[in-house]
Structure 1
Amino acid sequence: MSVDVKYRTSATTTGGRDGTARTDDGSFEVKLSTPKELGGAGGDGANPEQLFASGYSACFLGALKVAAAQAKVKIPAETIVNAKIGIGPRSEGGFGITADLTVTLPGIDKAEAQKLVEAAHQICPYSNATRGNVDVGLTVA
């Protein structure tokens, strides 16, 4: 598989899960903290799973807009994508993640919404990156 890269970005993390992450262009910086559920102190910092949930939900909404445009369907401005990301030990060893996306498309017939969500799942770069590696659930609310 080849990708015709149109945009590239980078970020640097220091201190691991209890450090900081910053994009190299300085447009984004975040304090990190490990959740208590993973043996950390918790705290007011974000964690990689929250960042992944934010990125996946934003990217999936963008893919949903592309899928809607291709189907000649106007999606409402109030459309919401919620991503719930889980993390825990894998039976094979190491850790793994899960993703559950819930999409709310007000005013769109549920069957039509389901088709758009499935199409977006084929378009979204996060979905393509995780396919076959992460259990991803798709729900139309």
Structure 2
Amino acid sequence: MDAIYTAVATANGREGRAVSSDGHIDLALAHPRALGGDGRGTNPEQLFAAGYAACFASAMQLIARQEKIDVTDASITAEVTIGKDPADGGFGLAVVMRAEFPEHLQGEAGRALLEKTHAFCPYSKATRGNIAVELVVE
């Protein structure tokens, strides 16, 4: 792969800070209440959800432009779940990608666009075969 851009961030655990090398991200991290924390900071699952949703939405816009499909009023929401992995007793992730589409993309047209986006998106490529990703058209 020919590198175009490399993002660099440093963190010191779920109860600490995450800081990007350019200073644009400087966040307190905390366990969510559901994992026994106080929830007074963001967490890796929220950061992953935000990154995945943004990347997926941009990939969808590119594909839609190529296919002359209007996605002006579309949005993508990523739901990242952490839970116990029965295979090893540790933790695992699952993702639901929700696409809110305008009327003309309801049904099969929207589903086809979502599947093409999932095949193309770099985050989807990275997760493929590693975590369950469910695609939902709303």
Q: TM-score, normalised by structure 1?
A: 0.91
Whether 2:128 is the aligned partner of 1:131: answer yes
**How far apart, in 1, do the equivalents of 2:100 and 2:131 lie?**
22
1:1-141 equivalences under 5 Å are 3-14=1-12, 16-39=13-36, 41-76=37-72, 78-93=73-88, 94-110=90-106, 111-141=108-138
How many pairs align? 136
Residue 42 (structure 1) shift: 2.0
What amino acid is the match of 1:95? F
What amino acid is the match of 1:43? G
Residue 62 (structure 1) shift: 0.4
User: SS of the residue aligned with 1:49?
Assistant: helix
Consecutive unaligned residues in structure 1, runs of 5 or more: none
Q: TM-score, normalised by structure 2?
A: 0.93
Provide runs of 4+ in structure 1 moved above 6 Å: none
**How far apart, in 2, do the equivalents of 1:10 and 1:108 lie?**
39
Q: Deviations over 1:63-120 (max 9, x none)?
A: 10111122121211x2111111110110111211000011012132322111111110
**How far apart, in 1, do the equivalents of 2:105 and 2:24 lie?**
39
Overall identity of the aligned pairs, in %: 40
Consecutive unaligned residues in structure 2, runs of 5 or more: none
**How far apart, in 2, do the equivalents of 1:8 and 1:74 lie?**
31
